[in-house]
Amino acid sequence: MRSLRVALVIALVVFVGGAVWGQKPKKKRQLPASTYKTTGKIFLKDTYSMFDSAVVILEEGVGFYPEDAEMHFLLGKAYHEIKDYGAMGEHFAAAESLKSDAKWIDELNSMREDKWMQVYNQGVAAYREQDFDTAIEKFMTCTRISPSDARAFWLYGDTYRVKGDYDRALEILDAGLKLDPENPQILRSYADVLFFSGKAEEALESYGRVMENDPDNVDVLFNMATLQYNAKEYDKAIESFQKLITIDPTFKDAYFNMGTAFLLKTIPADDGLDSLKDESGEFLKDEKSTAKIKELAQKKNHLLASAQAAFEKAVELDSTDLEAQGHLAEIYQELENFDKALVLLETLVAQDSTNCKAWQQLAYIYAKRDVGKKATDAFQKAQDCFENKK
């Protein structure tokens, strides 16, 4: 009986889909859906393992019966057997959308999850090895295996970020967020891509969403503060940096950037003070101007003291940070704390003799201290230094 049934099935294949045998029928004739499905099931059995033939038969059947959920399931299963997991996922998704409570749905989900995980792990391995083209291929396949599963969209989009294709990265990550709007990994990557692509306002908004679920994320806080700093919103940047160092007191770059923000906030005070000088450069003496000068000077000194504290902490955390030491020396000099400024400046020029500004500052302090020879030498070295850098 079995041999007779196989013979009948083979005859059916020749009749319906002669392409399996290298023939091209003149015209396909529609057969009952059950005929396509029964034939497909037989070809999928381990006894026969005629998977390519199953694909041909079931593709033809789906063409005639696109709303048949089981037909899509069987076709997905056939593609699974020939390792075309993308096509498998597409037909599984179609089957599930047409009938999500069928008896074969557990088998579908098991096969899909198994292959999704297998391909995803291959993508992760390729990502770690910086084989980004392979990683993209694997993650893209994952999104076809399970189109409603947001998980693969994270590294799929992030791989494009690493490659510098920010538009494509945003497109993929956006698709992932539509599937899972609160996914923290996709949200973070989406915000990072906006950050790197220069879309500051959108990045800040996205980072804000990340912070709702992860308020202690120092890297996100640092990026937010950087965006605020770049937008010249120094008060907001300082607030973000202060929150960051409360969480992580060892984050030295936060201290450095916060110190710089405080210094930049002194510029309006300097401009205000300059506007209260006469043509000879002396401050105006009237009562109103004197009061304003006092107010601006106090404000500037307060900002300088805050900047000083930030840079001192940065230097404490990294004694090799010459840039932080340079800013700190400027602040000491501005506040007329010449002893501390001198120690820093002499250290700076000893470590880097091409630091023109440090030589210039040294010349000023030596002159203030009436150390004429040192002042002259330092001034000459500053002049030579600036000349050599032209």
Tokens of 237: 């940047």
> pLDDT tens-digit profile of 72-108?
999 989 999 898 988 999 999 999 889 878 889 999 9
> pLDDT tens-digit profile of 47-65?
778 889 989 999 999 999 9
**What domains does the chain contain, in order, with CATH numbers?**
1-102 (1.25.40.10), 127-214 (1.25.40.10), 216-300 (1.25.40), 345-390 (no CATH)
Q: In b/e form, how buried is each residue of 59-91, taking b as 16+ CB within 10 angstroms? A: bbbbeebeebbbbbbbbbbbbbbeebbebbbbb
Tokens of 62: 């789906």
Amino acid at 367: A
Supply the pLDDT for residue 11.
41
Q: Which residue has the tokens 């220069």?
A: 198
Candidates 211, 256, 299; CA nearest to 241 is 256
Its pTM stands at 0.75
Give the relative orientation of helices 287-317 and 266-274 as an angle to the nearest 10 degrees. Answer: 150
User: Does 18 have pLDDT greater than 60?
Assistant: no
User: Does 296 have pLDDT greater than 80?
Assistant: yes
pLDDT-based confidence at residue 46 (cuts at 50, 70, 90): confident
Q: Is 201 helix (H, G, I), strand (E, B) or coil?
A: helix
- Which are the contacts of 27, defined by CB distance < 8 A and separation ≥ 6? none
User: Does 19 have pLDDT greater than 80?
Assistant: no
Supply the pLDDT for residue 27.
59
Torsion of CA 246, 249, 253, 259, to 10 degrees: 60
Supply the pLDDT for residue 370.
84
> Mean of the per-residue pLDDT values for the chain?
90
